[in-house]
Amino acid sequence: MFEFLFKYPPAVYSRGHYVLAGPWPWWVLVALVLIAAVGLYWNARRRWTLMSNLRAAAIWGLQTALIALLLLLLWRPAISVATLRPQQNIVAVLLDSSRSMAIADEDGHSRFDAASRLLKDGLIDSLGRRFQMRLYRFGDDAHRVDTAHLYNPPDSPVTRIARSLQDIAAESASLPFGAVVLLSDGAENAGGIDFDTIQRLRQTRIPVHTVGFGKEKLSRDIEVEDFSVPQRTLAGSRIEARIALRQSGLTGETARVTIRDGDNVLAAQNVNLTSEAIAVPLIFNAGAAGALNLIARVDPLPGEENTANNALARVVNVSAHKPRILYVEGEPRWEYKFMRRAADDDPQIELVSMLRTTPNKIYRQGVRDQSELADGFPTKPEELFAYDGLIIGSVEASWFTPAQQDMIREFAGRRGGGVLFLGGRFGLSEGGWGATPVAEMLPVRLPAAGATFQRVYSNTELAPAGMDSALCRLDDDPQKNVERWKKMPEIANWQLVGDPKPGAALLAEIIPPGHRKSPLLVTEPYGRGRTAVLATGGMWRWQMRSDHTDKTLPTFWRQMLRWLSNDTPGTVVAATPRQVLQDEDRLPLRVEVRDKNYQPLGSAVVQAHFVGPDGLSETLRLQPAGSEAGVYTADWSVPKAGAYLAEVTASVNGAEVGRDVLTFRRNDGVAENFRTTQNRDLLEKLSQQTGGRYYNARDARHLADEISYSEAGVTSREMLDLWDLPVVLLLALGLRAAEWLLRRKWGVV
């Protein structure tokens, strides 16, 4: 219909430039239209006594539009468009030969069969009549084939559209590519088309026309879309995992989600499938040091179309590192004792404490030797930054020098540690912290000092954000955890700390009798680290008012101590975006190196030593990343499937600065099991961004006609007349007919 009315395909109108091809200048046209409008207005004025102003204006408008249209046609409107010269351009036809194309969801046939049929039944012939053709199969990359091999069954374990298009872009440097036709289900395994690839294609000006195959939604399926866990944690810590599920056709049903390490179920939950996308938070214990090979799985549901996408793997490096946390307390109080007891019972944590027993005396516990903290709170960054976490108890800000206050701020900001502030008689507002640089790092806006410390028996409860927080998890069952917080004994002292800042997480609240709730526990990321406020020194009543077998308080403190230190980086931190490579062989490695003051170190020699399956051993030197000081990067080609360990060392002038260990896996033959529906979004965006168009299998037969209009390759510019479009004639007749009908209706013929 479009081409009947407009004579040319839509591509002409979207890519061409509009011109007036007549011999006279455009302003003459404008002038004549204005003269005609005025003349018609004068004529209409004479008749206005016969009808209302509105009706006369409508008649005048229709007459003017018709005259303007006819005058425009005299100026010969046309469209200038670049067209590929016949047989002088190459069209690359890329056929997706990954295993997901074997899924039979195209009216009982596989996607690959449907694509083959489209090519065989005319598309190749029609393209061949106009262009030279190069045929490619693509999966991991694009490789050229002849017609005899184009239709071999799909066998590639992965789909890498971006990499395949880059291959074509590279060839276009020496060949006149006019367009790319890409037949695929869009099941890209690299997560999308990267910006560099799009930029490269835009530079070559080659439009990518995409033809999509496969259902856009399965009738009954649930997929583990993502499984996020920290890459590393301390032994014995609780791990917060988040499993992203996507389902279709299963709304209202219940699915069982588990996280396993081998056969050992670490966490499980039944999930009601209330929407298409669901995030399931699960918390479990990391256990002993070593590599955790985790599998997040959804038990298959009856009639599910694809069960191979029900599980995802991740690796977590459980570290034996024993973090040291410094606790500064300004007065003897019971919380100190119970926190120390919790830490003493935890073999993974070293709590070093300094307690001000009198204005002139400090009692130290947990120190390595008598020299540690002998002169009081550290005065040099490298001394303070040797700790992994910091707790500031009931102690005034003025007890610290301004330089020490800055160091406390930098402890989180630059060093990346966790800092906890406790409520108390001399803490927070009462301690004057609100007027120091440290106030900036607090997750709350401290109120002015004055009676913020209360001695009122009050209950506590979890805030919504605390329900999914590992820090507040006292019971593995989320619902029981909420109830347990409510049933814990009252605390008898707490402090008003003001409202949480934007971006902070309010995890737990105090419920004073007869008053509005007040924040108890608030956390916030700050710089490279994190900060928290626990607005009480009275949690100890949880221990003294509960049976001695109840380990809630020590559990809470151990989790708090781990939260403070778990993510604290060392001087060398190795990271990779993905610790499980699904049918990928490229491991991007990023290493951040800092000195003892945690300033970026740009002059280090950084090496990664890889140990892998079958005795593989290889060393790689990383290069400084130009954009970030102290960051070193490299790509390593992972030779085969299996588990790997990378030990990264950094040294300056032969002296080691630090080291880190990274574990990762390469799993082959799994990527194509995921995102098996047609990724139409990706195909549409790819074609839009490159100047092409998305087609489904039915209307792809027009592709050969539309593909001719392209700026790439060997082109000539054509001038296509628009004056003789059928739609113009219809418009002229329509205007005249509308005037006649209105006149008849209003009786002013």
Partner 1 sequence: MIDLNTDEIFNWPWVYAVEVGHWDLTDAQVKMMREYFERGGFLMVDDFHGTYEWQVFVASMNRIFPDRPIVEIGDADPIFHVLYDLGKRVQVPGLQYVYSGKLYEKDGIVPHWRGIYDDKGRLMVTMCFNQDDGDAWEHADNPQYPEQFTSQAYRLGINYIIYSMTH
Residues that bind partner 1 (CB under 8 A): 332-334, 336-338, 340-341, 344, 355, 357-358, 361, 363, 365, 540-541, 543-548
**Buried-state track 494-519, b at ≥16 Cβ within 10 A, e below 16:** bbbbbebeeebbbbbbbbbeeeebbb
Q: What is the DSSP letter of 478?
A: H
Helix, strand and coil content of the chain, in percent to the nearest 5, comes to: 30, 35, 35
Of 46 and 361, which has the nearer Cβ to partner 1?
361
Instruction: Output the DSSP codes for 424-450.
Output: STTSGGGGTGGGSGGGGGSSB-PPPSS
Residue 428: other Cβ atoms inside 10 A? 29
Nearer to partner 1, 494 or 694 (CB): 494
* Residue 363 beta carbon to partner 1: minimum distance, rounded to whole angstroms: 6
Distances (CA, A) of 238 to 19, 229, 286: 69, 11, 6
Q: Residues near 748 by Cβ (< 8 Å), separated by ≥ 6? A: 47, 50, 51, 55, 59
Q: Which is nearer to partner 1, 207 or 330 (CB)?
A: 330
Q: Please say which residue, 146 or 547, places its beta carbon nearer to partner 1.
A: 547
**What is the rounded CA–CA span in Å between residue 109 and residue 39?**
67
The minimum distance between CB 426 and partner 1, in angstroms, equals 16
Alpha carbon distance 521, 505 (integer Å): 9
88 vs 546, beta carbon nearer partner 1: 546
Considering beta carbons, is residue 326 or 504 the nearer one to partner 1?
Answer: 326
Alpha helix stretches (DSSP H) within 258-380: 334-344
- C-beta of 341: minimal distance to partner 1 in Å? 7
| 181 close to 127: Cβ distance less than 8 angstroms | yes
Name the strand (E) or helix (H) holding 11: helix 10-15
User: Least separation, in Å, of the C-beta of 325 and partner 1?
Assistant: 16
User: Among 175, 269, 725, which residue's Cα sits nearest to residue 478?
Assistant: 269
Between 8 and 327, whose beta carbon lies closer to partner 1?
327
Residue 165 vs 391, nearer CB to partner 1: 391
* Close Cβ partners of 283 (under 8 Å, ≥ 6 residues apart): 238, 239, 240, 241, 267, 470, 473, 476
Smaller CB separation from partner 1, 338 or 421: 338
| Dist CA 95 CA 80 (whole Å) | 32
Query: What does the alpha-carbon distance between residue 493 and residue 392 come to, in Å, rounded to a whole number?
Result: 17
The nearest distance, CB 384 to partner 1, in angstroms, is 23
In the bound state with partner 1, the residue whose beta carbon lies nearer, of 183 and 325, is: 325
CB of 682 to partner 1, least distance (A): 60
To partner 1, the closest distance from the beta carbon of 332 in angstroms equals 4
In single-letter form, the type of residue at position 604 comes to: A
Q: Choose between 59 and 339: whose C-beta lies nearer to partner 1.
A: 339
Residue tagged 């990067």 (tokens): 633
Q: Give dist(CA 135, CA 90) in Å, integer.
A: 10
Minimum distance of partner 1 from residue 514's CB (angstroms):
22
CA proximity to 92, closest of 124, 123, 135? 135
C-alpha to C-alpha distance for 170 and 201, rounded to whole angstroms: 10
Among residues 333 and 562, whose Cβ is nearest to partner 1?
A: 333
Shortest reach from residue 411's CB to partner 1, in Å = 24
Cβ 545 to partner 1 shortest distance, Å: 5
Q: Minimal distance in Å, beta carbon 350 to partner 1?
A: 16
CA–CA distance, 235 with 227 (Å, rounded to integer): 20
Cα(328)–Cα(345) distance, rounded to whole angstroms?
A: 20
Cβ proximity to partner 1, 195 vs 363, nearer residue: 363
Minimum distance, C-beta of residue 373 to partner 1, in the bound complex (Å): 15
In whole angstroms, how close is the CB of 353 to partner 1 at the nearest point? 8
Residues in contact with 271: Cβ distance below 8 Å, sequence separation at least 6, in sequence order: 245, 254, 255, 256, 257, 278, 280
| Alpha helix (H) residue ranges in 598-652 | none
